[in-house]
A and B are shown apart, each in its own frame.
Chain A
Amino acid sequence: MFDVKRSRSGKAAEAAWRQELEDLETRWFAFLEKMEAKMEELCSAALPELRALRRDPDSEQVYLRMLAGVEGQLGHIRDKVYETRDAKVIDTWYRFREEIAFADAFYGTGNAFRDNCEDRYHAFEETYLDWHNLVRATLRENLEEEYRQILETLDANRGVFRCRQCGAPISVPADCFISVHLACPACATQNTFDPGSKARKLPFIARDLAEKRVSPLYGAYQQGGRTDALYRTYLRALYDELNRMLPALREHHETLYHKYIAAHTQGGQHHG
């Protein structure tokens, strides 16, 4: 294959290539540096803003939209880098390969160019992922506090509600996150308790919070060779957390636990 390539012949051609690759590499590095600076500017201004919105219960929707918007800009920066890599670095590397045979001593110069540019590109990708993860993490930063507030609401519900028929106090289940019919202990009339919008969030918060609390075990599983035993430890801890937070759904949690254990044992997959 190498021998059919039509080379620009001689030292002049090599010098031209050398110059082109050197210039391109310098520009590529400078470009990525500027794009990384953009990510830093964007995220260092966005992170405090996102955290503040996350803590404000009235700003949940605005927070989620802002988060998607910041992620959108990070994605835009990443896409622009990817397209530029294609159009400049990869395209040039292909042209080089078309002209310079693999057996040619000069081929190594192109190879080094490609390696340098690709290494730099991967470093950019890692920086992107770090920022992306930091921005994403704001979603989970306030979970313990949100959960504490829900518990407060649930706790406040107990002992304050009275039968609408006779006025006797009616006790509300500790983890009541959906409407429930409750009979009055004095007159037996069925009352209907609505837990309100805050308590209704309990199953969603609980799921995220349980995942967050056991994330070190998930990390141990991922770094420990993804064995069945480590998976079982992680998953058991996850559903123990969920059982504590949502005792009414224990049966469902146990079904899921057995389903995922079986899938892992058979397929070596994990659930997300």
Chain B
Amino acid sequence: MAKDYLEPIHGISLRDYAAMAKRIAQGVDEEPIFRAMGIDRAIWDEINTLWPQRMAEDETFEVTILYSQYFADETPHPKLDAVKADISAEGAANLERVKADRYFYEELSGAREAAFEYGLDGSQWLLETFGINLADFQAAAMKHGEENFRIDPEQLREYLDYQCEMKAKYAEKFAAERGGNVADDVEF
């Protein structure tokens, strides 16, 4: 990797950028985020163009991998700790469960996919149904994803099977809401 790919851009480090992007994806207003970081929209627009460019250019994927880690990192950010997303009590409880309970995480992953396949924006559905925003869900996904390399492959298979099972369960519910699948009446 070209070494300067990790140098800050306009004074904004990759860690700063990930923390900002996460808050925006959580639904936090942009202006207070910019103010807290001492920048304006023009600078944000540039770093939001240039950091993704570096991720695309870097053939080692290190910039992308670090970005994901920073995105999932819950260490308080020195300038952004006070700029927080509005999360309902129910949403906060569900989020804690998604982080702590792998099966619950797999259930919501499957459900979110099923929602997409039945014409819903799965992220919005997740927010409306469980109070969890996309950024927090993605951060939890990254944490669980890291675990995949450490656990027994059998255990991993069990998680993924569970996700499929849950996806099928939610798909059935969504299908019923659409009056049944198009090919439900075709018998062998």
Chain A residues in the interface with B (C-beta under 8 A)? 27-28, 31, 34-35, 38, 41-42, 61, 64-66, 68-69, 71-73, 75-77, 80, 84, 88, 178-181, 192, 194, 203, 249, 252, 255-256, 259, 263
Contact = CB atoms under 8 A, between A and B. Distances in A.
B182 A76 contact: yes
Contact of A178 (B42, B183, B186): B42
Contacts of A252: 53, 56-57
A256 B187 CA distance: 51
7 contacts: A27-B188, A31-B186, A38-B183, A72-B116, A80-B186, A179-B40, A252-B57
Interface residues of B, number: 25
B81 interface: no
A252 B9 CA distance: 15
Contacts of B57: 252, 255-256, 259
A241 B120 CA distance: 34
Interface of B: 40-42, 44-46, 48-49, 53, 56-57, 59, 116-121, 171, 181-183, 186-188
Contacts of B118: 69, 72
Nearest to B41: A179
B45 A178 contact: yes
B46 A76 contact: no
A68 B116 contact: yes
B165 to A, nearest CB: 14
A71 B46 CA distance: 36
A263 B61 CA distance: 14
Nearest to A203: B49
Q: Is the interface of A mostly helix, strand, loop or mixed?
A: helix
B46 A178 contact: yes
B45 A66 contact: no
A194 B41 contact: yes
A256 B59 contact: no
Nearest to A38: B183
Contacts of A66: 119
A176 B53 CA distance: 17
Contacts of A203: 49
B117 A71 contact: yes
A106 B183 CA distance: 36
